[in-house]
A = this chain, B = another copy of it.
Amino acid sequence: MQPAVRTNLTTSATESLRAEIVSGRWGVGERVPNEAVLSDLLAVSRGTVREAVRVLVSQGLLDTRQGSGTYVRSTVDASAALDRVRRTGLRDQWEARAALDLEAARLAALRRTPADIKRMRQLLAERGSVADGGSEAFIQRDLAFHKSVVAASGNKAMMELYDFFTVAITETIHATIDGELPEPDQQAHAAILDAIAAGDPDGAVAAVHAFMAPVLAQFERLLSQ
């Protein structure tokens, strides 16, 4: 069945205001109606209007000036993008991070410095097994290796996004299935590093693909239940 949508007045007020802005009916720099008028237009109380306006201010769409009024600051709504990303499913987030892993490995194979290789080798050696220090510590070491690969790509945007996804995915996993995912083995990781060290971009991509496959397959199983 179609799930019943439960919304609240503030949210719908926010979306109504947002629609006026992104549609361009309220132009950039223009002053919007005051709180009392908006309260009438939206048929909600002034408090609700204020909450809606505050949200749009925090997203950079509006700008309030005490004593003067509320003004349109921008019609571009990118600031909420990552929030919406976080609301997507676990599989989607994992795939998006995998996209970064893939391209980062390819770029790393083209750009890695000797220092990068040394660092990745060290982290891979430290990665060890789950037996050392428990699964939580192992996940941290595993992550450190992956991040070093992304770092070797020299791409700061991808590093930031990788961090973002890592935390978001961790939270989602804790909130839902509680760690039922297979842990990729040491050999698969070594293959990635070898390809990067050899300066082989296609090999690096293939290696990442190989180690991602079982995890994604597990997702499909979990999601199909």
Taken together as a complex, chains A and B put the C-alpha atoms of A74 and B99 apart, in Å, by 23
Question: Which residue of chain B is the closest to A66 with respect to CB atoms?
Answer: B8
Contact A95 B85 (CB under 8 A): no
User: 0/1 per residue, A52-87, Cβ < 8 Å to B?
Assistant: 001100111000001000000011101111111111
How many chain A residues sit at the interface, stated as a range, is 35 or more
Set of chain B residues within 8 Å of A93, measured between Cβ atoms: 157
Contacts of A10 in B (CB 8 A): 54
A89–B102 alpha-carbon span in the complex (Å): 20
Question: Is A158 part of the binding interface, using a Cβ–Cβ cutoff of 8 Å?
Answer: yes
Q: Considering the complex, which residues of chain A in the window 142-171 have a beta carbon less than 8 Å from any beta carbon of chain B?
A: 155-158, 160-161, 163-164, 167-168, 171
Q: Lowest 3 A-B CB distances belong to which pairs?
A: A99-B103, A81-B164, A78-B82
Residues of A at the B interface (CB closer than 8 Å) are 8, 10, 14, 28-29, 47, 50-51, 54-55, 58-60, 66, 74-76, 78-89, 92-93, 95-96, 98-100, 102-104, 107, 155-158, 160-161, 163-164, 167-168, 171, 174-175, 205
